[in-house]
Amino acid sequence: MPTCQNCDHEWSWKQTCKKYFTLDTGMTCPYCGEKQYVTSRTRKKSNMLLFIPPALMLLNIFFGPSLVVLFMLLGSFPLMVGLYPFLIELTSKEELPW
């Protein structure tokens, strides 16, 4: 779980998921109110997770429709949402993506 760099409080899974679905680049700490940002390392990890659904769809295209691939595709979204809060690392300063 992510830990605030300002107050050293660990966020809960629910708080992290709630912040995950916002469009703002910064996440406000629920304990101290300071803005926290996702590290570039975390963004790289999450981008790798985003390739799972398209890769599964390509399996369907190349090998024909399959129920196994369909169930893997349907299961990948909850798995990604469930794992993402454990991958997040926070920093007090916004890092450039490049």
If pLDDT is split at 50, 70 and 90, which confidence band does 9 have? confident
SS (H, E, C) 51-86: CHHHHHHHHHHHHCCCHHHHHHHHHHHHHHHHHHHH
Closest CA to 72 of 60, 84, 63, 85: 60
Hey, what amino acid is at 78? P
24-56 tens-digit pLDDT: 778 888 888 888 888 888 888 878 877 888 887
Q: What's the pLDDT at 23?
A: 66
